[in-house]
Amino acid sequence: MNLLLAILLAVLAAVGVAGWMILAPYGPVSEAIVDVAPGSPATLIGRQLEEAGVIRSRYGFDLMRMIERGTLRAGEYRFTEPLPLIEVYERIARGDVFTVALTVPEGANSFEIAVRVQAAGLGSSQAFLEAVVSQAGLVADLDPGAKSLEGYLFPDTYRFSPKASPDEMVTAMVRRFRLVAAQLGLRENVHDVVTLASLVERETAVAGERPLVASVYVNRLNKKMPLMADPTVIYGLELEGLWRGSLYQSDLDRDTAYNTYLHPGLPPGPIDNPGAPSLRAAMHPADTDYLYFVAASDNPQGRSLFSNTLDQHVRNVDGYRRALKRGGGR
User: What is the DSSP code string of 40-67?
Assistant: --HHHHHHHHHHTTSSS-HHHHHHHHHH
**Which amino acid appears at position 326 of this protein?**
R
pLDDT digits 0-9 by tens, 201-234: 999 888 899 999 999 999 999 999 999 999 999 9
Give the model's confidence band at 14: pLDDT under 50 very low, under 70 low, under 90 confident, else very high. very low
Residue at which a domain ends, from 184, 217, 240: 184
pLDDT digits 0-9 by tens, 95-132: 989 999 999 999 999 999 999 999 999 999 999 999 99
User: What is the DSSP code string of 205-243?
Assistant: --GGGHHHHHHHHHHHHHTT-----HHHHHHHHHHTT--
Residue 1 falls within a domain, yes or no? no
Residue at which a domain ends, from 151, 184, 217: 184
Give the model's confidence band at 325: pLDDT under 50 very low, under 70 low, under 90 confident, else very high. low
Indicate the number of domains in the chain: 3
Residue 94's SS3 state is: coil
pLDDT digits 0-9 by tens, 15-69: 445 555 565 677 687 888 899 999 999 999 999 999 999 999 899 898 888 888 8
Share of the chain above pLDDT 70, in %: 87
Q: Check the CA dihedral 171-173-175-181 and report its sign.
A: negative
Instruction: Determine phi and psi for 291, rounding to 5 degrees.
Output: -125, -10
* Whether 226 and 310 share a structural domain: yes
Is the pLDDT assigned to residue 151 strictly greater than 60?
Answer: yes
What is residue 319's predicted lDDT score, i.e. its pLDDT?
73
Residue at which a domain ends, from 34, 61, 93: 93
What is residue 1's predicted lDDT score, i.e. its pLDDT?
58
Average pLDDT over residues 303-315: 84
Query: Residues 6 or more apart from 251 whose CB is under 8 A from it?
Result: 233, 234, 237, 242, 244
* Whether 155 and 265 share a structural domain: no
Residue 11 falls within a domain, yes or no? no
Structural domain boundaries enclosing 28: 20-93
What is residue 13's predicted lDDT score, i.e. its pLDDT?
46
Residue 284 falls within a domain, yes or no? yes
Average pLDDT, the chain: 89
What 146-149 contacts at long range (C-beta under 8 Å, 24+ apart), as own/partner pairs, is: 146/191, 146/269, 147/268, 147/269, 148/110, 148/269, 149/110, 149/173, 149/174
**Which amino acid appears at position 91 of this protein?**
R
Is the pLDDT assigned to residue 9 strictly greater than 80?
Answer: no
* Whether 320 and 212 share a structural domain: yes
| Beta strand 100-104 pairing with 75-79 | unpaired
CA of 239: how far to CAs of 35, 129, 248, in Å?
38, 11, 17
